[in-house]
Structure 1
Amino acid sequence: MEFTYATLIGWIIAVFLGLLALIVLWKIYTNKIDLQYLIADEKGYASMSRFQFLIFTFVIAGGLIYMTLRAVCGAEGAAFPAVNSGVLVLLGISGGSYAIGKGLQNQADAQQAKAGDQANG
């Protein structure tokens, strides 16, 4: 494998991201980062839109990291990945479904609060 500045920069970035990941995992392990509501709403109910958004993000990020590391390590036929419109559409659909779900949940909560106020008043 031939040494290039691109290879060096790639390894520096990979090590930096790896260290960040280890710090985050350590904070999760020591309960400094709470994952209680990662895929649940504020009431504790599971949210399919949050779960979908999480999975899509991890799958796409993992694939891009894998392809980038292959290109940095000089694997034959490997190239830096191009983020095409299909990837952006998947992330957009996932993020949009989360945002719409959040909006519908807030609207339902507001209607319940209004109905409760009318019943009490």
Structure 2
Amino acid sequence: MPFAAITYDIKAGYEKEISEIFGNFRRVGSPVVQDESGGETARILSTAVFIRDDTMVRVIEYEGDLDAIARHMATQPGVREVEEKLAPYLSRPRATDTVEGFVATFRRSLLTCMAQMSVRDAA
């Protein structure tokens, strides 16, 4: 399963406040991402958030179409709430208040995966 990692430029020294935001995170309604006809296009398997100094990284393990996952995340109330609550702690604002803005920000923030290994890949 592939991983995606997106970065957030944050103000240093607010780890506790940011931790509290994610501690109260409302999970997505379903890990399954569907297209307009109801067919499954992707699935979110797991997420994790890491922080150090002025950088925060959200890691997403997924199956399927990453753009579909970004669009799905853009419409989720919990994700929108986190983005709104993070705004005061960002050193670089994120235009995530629309689906288009969220997807564009997601793409700009995406780190390039250099290597990925899993015991699931071993035969």
Shared fold per TM-score greater than 0.5: no
State the TM-score bracket (shorter-chain normalisation): under 0.3
**Rg comparison, structure with higher value:** 1
**TM-score (structure 1 length as normaliser):** 0.23
**TM-score (structure 2 length as normaliser):** 0.23
More helix by share: 1
| More relative contact order, 1 or 2 (CA 8 Å, 6+ apart) | 2
